Structure 1
């Protein structure tokens, strides 16, 4: 049997050091250490298995999490060192909040001491000491302590995720990310164009990890939150590109990607020697190559890096990035990629990343269309859809996608994580790519028909691509488009069967 050595005793001693109410520096995921407070976890949240953990509520943010003890340090003992690790405005705001909390706590404690002294006049010193002690110990029952804390920390949420979706597994996943180590932000100035479902989460994570970011959006008020968190505001794409070293773009489709580069006050007007442009949009290979050529012709450097994932994965920094083009630019983007993704792949020449992304999204769209069809068939057979989801989650089809989209269908909750119009667009591009290569894609064609139908208010579903039986899935997404489901999640394809 293994005995407890000196090092183990030191570690165990350290683990036992923290208690409810302690102020700490907590390391969550890829983000820099952040000031927080040890609090009691909600009853409905089970403690993750494995290493000892503490539930931490972070200052100046909505984040709360189980944090491993080896990712925690005393706030006061390490304050001077930690304050030098992050210069972002968001971090400075958190420091202001914790220091104000400490100040108010001190004032409340001093007032409590004075009250205690007045009440203890004429009583034994021991009784007075006991009163003082109870007023100074940070405790959930100490109302003055907690009222001042809630003045500076927002109401309780877990990772900004709705409680209906929160499970122990998600907390464990976030805690696992904490083992990935620090992201050391590049000193280069980063630009970001486009703040859609995925883009917003990426900018949020770039700021959290200490990157200097300038943002622009066709919808200007989308920039407000990020400017408050320390981002700079760009007036036009050209201005962002000209003032930044590396500019990322994340827009809807090939048309939007070209307009962003070639349009008035567009990217091309700001590109010059040494300026770098990284397109995160999902486009066809020809569009990626066309944009690459015009960027390089102006002395710029180009990388395509479409993001695979959805809104939630973007917010959690767990996207997959597929990159192709300038290899040295890929290397220059590493800290940014680490901040927004769990893994990135370099695939060689421009166009390969677009091809890989379209293949992946074709598989995804076809799978979700089949999932919706299966749920509908089960219902019409008199089977329980809830039981179907349990069976799917227990067998070889078990995965987060089945669970998320299955729950969405059961609850009729189609809040977009990956919007149906994006999936239908990608299926259309994948089919076109297959056609250009004389490659049959009947499954994707069928799925696309369903999506397209859901996206318009008319009954016209277009010309069906019925060369092969599998084309029914394209048909179903087109039908979903016709039912005005464009802005909903892809799982809304189920509406076709209702």
Structure 2
């Protein structure tokens, strides 16, 4: 297990979730070196004591645990395997933890390239959105070597409350695909239910009181349906990112010869919203399809 007093954490990617995650690590007493493409996004963290790294390469040379949560698989590839990336420039016995939702095959590739350099790689995508990140209550699903998972578990415990080792490299990403498939169809149901409540003349807030704690209950119903009612479509998780995730999941399902009609429908609805200019809205903006 890593000793806290000997740990310096590098954090790459300070978006809606990453910024809160890095903040929680600082509050837990870890030295944190941060890098994001737009330095202004790091300003509040720098004021709280974080150290600025000017590139992925610089973070790799300064930290012995590196956490990433970036946008797309192409970004993950650049951060880890590019000329200025973490693997080519990282030190032996560094632990790297990619918390981006990315492709299982890329997670395996990163693991194999890291192993050649004596670097320990884990794929550890998360669920829980901006609220879970802010409160340190994320669900974290981890793939890689079991002993590496156990070594970084105290760090993961700062970020989440439901942390499960899923198996070999890529298993974390496959588990996140299961998560996104479940969310995809569920969001259709939540949005339709709220639209139905309004169109039938009911008070949707009262409807939520009745159905959110019964058999229909879900995280999306409890946390996102109130935002739909308020007309709050600010992103806890971007539509453009759920489209990315669902596209990965659908491709993986097809490669296994599996049909996923609910996933395919949700993807088509979200793509239609993106074409209407909603790609930077939160996933709860699916409700707008029925407005």
TM bucket by the smaller chain? over 0.9
Is it true that 1:481 corresponds to 2:274 in the alignment?
A: yes
In structure 2, how many angstroms separate the alpha carbons of the residues matched to 1:394 and 1:301?
42
Give the CA deviation at 1:254.
Answer: 1.0
Matches within 5 A, 1:447-458: 447-452=266-271
Give the CA deviation at 1:429.
Answer: 1.1
In structure 2, how many angstroms separate the alpha carbons of the residues matched to 1:391 and 1:425?
34
Counterpart in 2 of 1:113? none
Residue among 86, 93, 108 paired with 1:267: 86
Counterpart in 2 of 1:401? 220
In structure 2, how many angstroms separate the alpha carbons of the residues matched to 1:296 and 1:394?
46
Counterpart in 2 of 1:252? 71
Unaligned runs of 5+ in 1: 1-183, 453-478
Counterpart in 2 of 1:331? 150
Tell me which protein shows more helix as a share of its residues.
2
In structure 2, how many angstroms separate the alpha carbons of the residues matched to 1:274 and 1:265?
19
Give the CA deviation at 1:287.
Answer: 1.3
Change (3 A) 1:262 1:400: closer
Residue among 119, 133, 152 paired with 1:300: 119
Matches within 5 A, 1:326-475: 326-452=145-271
Give the CA deviation at 1:327.
Answer: 2.3
Higher CA-based Rg: 1
Give the CA deviation at 1:492.
Answer: 0.3
Counterpart in 2 of 1:35? none
In structure 1, how many angstroms separate the alpha carbons of the residues matched to 2:94 and 2:251?
32
Give the CA deviation at 1:373.
Answer: 1.8
In structure 2, how many angstroms separate the alpha carbons of the residues matched to 1:243 and 1:279?
17
Per the alignment, in what secondary structure is the counterpart of residue 344 of structure 1? strand
Give the CA deviation at 1:372.
Answer: 0.8
Is it true that 1:278 corresponds to 2:97 in the alignment?
A: yes
Residue among 279, 288, 291 paired with 1:495: 288
Residue among 164, 183, 206 paired with 2:25: 206
In structure 2, how many angstroms separate the alpha carbons of the residues matched to 1:272 and 1:210?
23
In structure 2, how many angstroms separate the alpha carbons of the residues matched to 1:494 and 1:483?
13
Confirm or deny: 8 A CA contact 2:121 2:144 kept in the other structure.
Answer: yes
Give the CA deviation at 1:384.
Answer: 3.6
Give the CA deviation at 1:330.
Answer: 1.4
Residues 54-79 of structure 1 deviation map (CA, whole Å, 9 limit, x = unaligned): xxxxxxxxxxxxxxxxxxxxxxxxxx
Change (3 A) 1:267 1:372: same
Per the alignment, in what secondary structure is the counterpart of residue 347 of structure 1? strand
Confirm or deny: 8 A CA contact 1:187 1:211 kept in the other structure.
Answer: no
Say which structure, 1 or 2, has more relative contact order (CA 8 Å, 6+ apart): 2
Residue among 34, 42, 54 paired with 1:215: 34
Give the CA deviation at 1:317.
Answer: 0.5
